[in-house]
Amino acid sequence: MPVVPDASFAIAVNPHTQQVYIANIYTETVSILDGNAFLTPAQRAQAVQQDSPDGTPLPSVDVPPFVEDFSTGTLDLTRWGVMQNLPGPGGVIDIVGTDPTDRRLRLGIYKPAEPHTRVHGIYTREAIIDFEHARTTEIHVDIDWSQITDGRDGLRAGILISPTICTRDFQAEAHNFLQVMYYGNLDNPTHAHLEVRARIRNEWAEDGHRGGSYTLFDEGYHASYMANRPLVGRTLGVQQLRILVSAQALAVWENGILRYEQRFTQLAGLASELPWLNGHLYLVQTGGENEPASDVFFSNLSVRQAPELPKPE
């Protein structure tokens, strides 16, 4: 693989994937040419590896499953990082449950002291979702809202996929993300609706400004709200999510029912695959200053390679 040195950086081209990597000699970081995503250590090694003696590509290594049951009773900080925009009282991130076979992650918002939305959660330290090799990743997670009696509009909880590590607020830090989250219902606080949103290259957004996000799916919630019709959603309870995602497509099942699927190449304004090499997985909760106390629980998390891409009907 040819490498062109310079005083402060080097450029490497992988002849088999045609991807271009820029390595900063001083910071020892590697990024793709457009700078939108950074490589994992495994991908960094692949970017500088030599071809096999006969000129054929070296085989890729399958990604092992990532399974988290929180059975140790404490958050494993070698696997997980913490994201929170308002440290201090008012929020909690911990593991609950006395039975090691039935422990869960708790994200709780109790009393935001500042007039701001609280954003917190955890993220995988490794980028466990692989987009580079056209793989499909299957994600399973259970989200339990059943102890919340008043969800309102500001309370949200779900998962986020991003090539960026965010330590405070993904909305401010991530130029690229996909989110599958439940949103509290403005007029029916015992209900929530499912939304799928995206931010691509920090530019592709329905509100027309950088840093926004594009709503891919909201169960018709916004249209119902604007037309003053009854709002959609489901009673706050336990939702079992299954998500298939790749650089080409996304599909979301809730309690065994397919709720959303989309090929990214068919989206107006994008019409391309996701320009990411990989993604970190986030478990996230947000809440406004006027929201009542709320606990959301995450459990039975698994992330593994899927046998094939989701196919449109």
Query: Is pLDDT above 80 for 71?
Result: yes
- Give the model's pLDDT for residue 2: 44
Structure tokens at 179: 């989110």
Least confident of 63-72, 111-120, 228-237, 288-297: 111-120
Section 225-242 average pLDDT: 83
- Comparing 65 with 23, which gets the higher pLDDT? 65
Quickly state the pLDDT bin for 211 (edges 50, 70, 90).
low
Section 47-69 average pLDDT: 56
Section 186-191 average pLDDT: 72
Least confident of 67-81, 105-119, 128-142: 105-119
Reading phi first (left if > 0) and then psi (alpha if -120 to 50, else beta), residue 99 is in: beta
**Sequence ranges of the chain with CATH classification 2.60.120.200:** 67-305
Query: Is pLDDT above 70 for 231?
Result: yes
- Give the model's pLDDT for residue 252: 95
Section 95-122 average pLDDT: 83
Query: Is pLDDT above 70 for 253?
Result: yes
Specify which residues 23 forms β-bridges with: 10, 30
Residue 226 sits at φ, ψ, to 5 deg, of: -65, -30
Whole-model pTM? 0.75
The answer to whether 91 and 4 are in contact (CB under 8 A) is no
Section 14-25 average pLDDT: 48
Contacts of 18 (CB under 8 A, 6+ apart): none
Section 47-61 average pLDDT: 41
- Give the model's pLDDT for residue 5: 42
67-305: CATH topology is Jelly Rolls (2.60.120)
Structure tokens at 9: 């950086």
Q: What one-letter code names the amino acid at 210?
A: R
- Give the model's pLDDT for residue 205: 52
Quickly state the pLDDT bin for 108 (edges 50, 70, 90).
confident
Arithmetic mean of pLDDT over the chain: 76
